Amino acid sequence: MTDSVTAGAIARPRLMERYRRFLPITEATPALTLGEGSTPLVHAGRLGTTIGAPNLYLKVEGQNPTGSFKDRGMVVAVAKAVEAGARAVVCASTGNTSASAAAYGAHAGLEVIVILPKGHIALGKLVAALIAGARVVAIDGNFDQALHIVRGLAEQDDHPVTLVNSVNPFRLEGQKTAAFEICDDLGRAPDVLAIPVGNAGNISAYWAGFREYADAGHATSTPAMWGFQAAGAAPLVLGRRVERPETIATAIRIGDPASWDKAVAARDESGGRIEAVTDDEILAAYRDLAQIEGVFCEPASAASVAGIRKMAGAGRLDPDATVVAVLTGHGLKDPGTAERQASGVLEAGPTLGAVAVALGWS
């Protein structure tokens, strides 16, 4: 662990310092940072106009240190674990939580154990956990079963480990800072906040953040929270658990969200909605984000924009609304899906003529 401040960390303020007054930080909390938070809010005017939401902004969370929003919560959860004397942390994950836990655990000198659903973790997430030295166990089961197992591991007295899934309240405390940043950057709260929903921690954290910021007088309104699940993994839309969740968006391949009640409260208290989008709708938004806006996110993240397109198409979005879509993770996390969705490489001999032919110029 280090207290040193790099030049980058000065330009990009430490998350725990920037919003210290809203976080459970004490004198004894270590000043952990890998440079998380303060991510860009990008106006997506071209894509927004084509989908009926010209005031569309993207909160690009893939620009966090390990490439996802998880770092906001992980920095707080790991710092609090260190403060409490922990030596090891454990999590279940669809990939991003494990990459984040592995990195922050390594930085803080903790042992990291992660339990994953075998065969359903995007390559960039798996290798990030492994190279950071986490002990990775892949189970023949899904995320919901992995979460059940890690809850059990965290209760074993002979091997003390701190659970750093979003059921750890410090995770949601850290994640709510993204709502503060959006209000700070826009100068107001958006009218609609669109967000992918898996284990349902993030939508809950954002709602807490928007409410706290308004209560503190930093915003005069709160947004309607619009959550989007993949159609094959949409327990909150169906109102019942999904035993065998399936979607190309592996990050949100979850059938029994831990923060179910909080997400429903966020939806209802904000006057929002939680809807499903199909894998085809997710992939169309994923390609359009890259090709029309130059923003490369992972498939699960594109569920937020797919949802906005769907709602606008159904006449349920006021075209004057200021909409923020949260892009939760970086596209490089999942190179396999990108390769399958992109057009292929053109090949040519090493001459001007051959390249011109390949380009269709002659």
Binding site for ligand F0G (CB under 6 A): 68, 70, 93-97, 166, 196-202, 251-252, 298, 300-301, 328-329
| Shortest CB 62 distance to ligand F0G, Å | 8
Tokens of 244: 């065998």
| Shortest CB 115 distance to ligand F0G, Å | 10
Tokens of 226: 């619009």
- Of residues 82 and 252, the one with the C-beta less far from ligand F0G: 252
CA 219/CA 189 separation, integer angstroms? 6
- Of residues 14 and 125, the one with the C-beta less far from ligand F0G: 125
- Of residues 224 and 357, the one with the C-beta less far from ligand F0G: 224
- Of residues 196 and 223, the one with the C-beta less far from ligand F0G: 196
Give, in order, the Cα–Cα distances in Å from 312 to each of 203, 272, 305, 330.
Answer: 20, 14, 10, 25
- Of residues 29 and 230, the one with the C-beta less far from ligand F0G: 230
Backbone angles phi, psi at 43, to 5 degrees: -75, 120
| Shortest CB 100 distance to ligand F0G, Å | 8
| Shortest CB 201 distance to ligand F0G, Å | 4
Please name the residue ranges forming H helices in the chain.
Answer: 7-11, 15-18, 45-51, 70-83, 96-108, 123-131, 143-154, 169-175, 177-186, 201-215, 235-238, 260-270, 279-288, 299-313, 335-341, 352-358
| Shortest CB 154 distance to ligand F0G, Å | 16
- Of residues 79 and 91, the one with the C-beta less far from ligand F0G: 91
Integer distance in angstroms from the first to the last C-alpha of the chain?
Answer: 59
Tokens of 124: 């960039």
DSSP 179: H
| Shortest CB 109 distance to ligand F0G, Å | 23
DSSP 62: G
- Of residues 150 and 311, the one with the C-beta less far from ligand F0G: 150
Type of residue found at 331: G
- Of residues 29 and 162, the one with the C-beta less far from ligand F0G: 162
**What is the SS3 assignment for 88?**
strand
| Shortest CB 170 distance to ligand F0G, Å | 14
| Shortest CB 255 distance to ligand F0G, Å | 12
Type of residue found at 354: A
Contacts of 49 (CB under 8 A, 6+ apart): none
**Of 162, 152, 236, nearest in space to 199 by CA:** 236
